[in-house]
Structure 1
Amino acid sequence: MRLVHRSGRSNAPSTPLASDVDVARSTLEQGRGLMFRRSIPDDYALVFPFDAPDTQWLHMLFVPFAIDALWLVDGEVQKAKRLAPFVGLGRGRADTVVELPAGAADEVAVGDEVRLVE
């Protein structure tokens, strides 16, 4: 499974954001997120799917490295934010939230498409 990005500003082909993807489906997996990890690989993504769009919060408690976070509705980026280690906090409306290494989503903008593909 891969996570791919397509810019909403052009008809460019999709480009990979991550090739090492975990999906946090259970409440326990979603609650733990990236807590207690020392690092994540450059091509890694943690994806949080939810049943319907709603306000989704992220915190960086016990996460010692910065991340890029994306809030998606039907694959369209609603918000993108860099979260600082330990103290970062973010919220946005989403049916899917994606966590990536800091810098991985530098080219991703609101309105772009981000999807999981096999």
Structure 2
Amino acid sequence: MYPLDDTPFVHVEHRRNGTARTLASDVEVADGFLSKSLGLMFRRKIRDDYGLVFEFDSPDRRSLHMMFVPFPIDALWLVGEEVTKKKRLRGWVGIGFGLADRIVELPAGAADDVERGDTVRLVE
């Protein structure tokens, strides 16, 4: 989905061994207090090409919960562009912790071939 205003089109790209592939082409960035607090809560579903990216100022131990999220997701914790952790979180009860200055949430299965140490980045 391309934006109608001057906002650049952003997608989430996975790179390993010189090969790149798009993990999400419909990307939302949670950079404010409210958007970070709500995350995916109260949504019934997300599209297969959707990604929610949480931006933080510096690397720290970051947590995710799935309270009020009724579907599973793949979560990636990143420092810079390097994946430090990947976890599938179950709907309603999933919880995860990892070192990150950026977290990417994707539909379950979207990050199946992503491994710790791979590169994941936002591309305009």
Calculate the TM-score normalised by the size of structure 1.
0.96
Is the aligned partner of 1:11 residue 2:18? yes
- For residues 99 and 18 of structure 1, the distance between their equivalents in structure 2, rounded to whole angstroms, comes to 10
Is the aligned partner of 1:26 residue 2:35? no
Q: CA deviation at 1:11?
A: 2.5
Percent identical residues: 61
Which residue in 2 is equivalent to 1:107? 113
Q: Which runs of 5 or more structure 1 residues have no equivalent in the other structure?
A: none
Question: What is the DSSP-based 3-state SS (H/G/I as helix, E as strand, rest coil) of the residue aligned with 1:77?
Answer: strand
Question: What is the DSSP-based 3-state SS (H/G/I as helix, E as strand, rest coil) of the residue aligned with 1:68?
Answer: strand
Given residue 100 of structure 1, which amino acid in structure 2 is its aligned partner? L
Runs of 4+ in 1 over 3 A off after TM superposition: none
Which residue in 2 is equivalent to 1:48? 54
Given residue 22 of structure 1, which amino acid in structure 2 is its aligned partner? E
**CA RMSD, 1 decimal:** 0.5
- For residues 67 and 117 of structure 1, the distance between their equivalents in structure 2, rounded to whole angstroms, comes to 21
Given residue 104 of structure 2, which amino acid in structure 1 is its aligned partner? V
Given residue 62 of structure 1, which amino acid in structure 2 is its aligned partner? F
Q: Which runs of 5 or more structure 2 residues have no equivalent in the other structure?
A: 1-9
Is the aligned partner of 1:2 residue 2:11? yes
CA deviation vs aligned residue, 1:42-63 (integer Å, no higher than 9, x gap): 0000000000000000000000
Report the count of equivalent residues.
115
- For residues 15 and 75 of structure 1, the distance between their equivalents in structure 2, rounded to whole angstroms, comes to 15
Is the aligned partner of 1:84 residue 2:93? no
Given residue 11 of structure 1, which amino acid in structure 2 is its aligned partner? G
Calculate the TM-score normalised by the size of structure 2.
0.92
- For residues 11 and 41 of structure 1, the distance between their equivalents in structure 2, rounded to whole angstroms, comes to 27
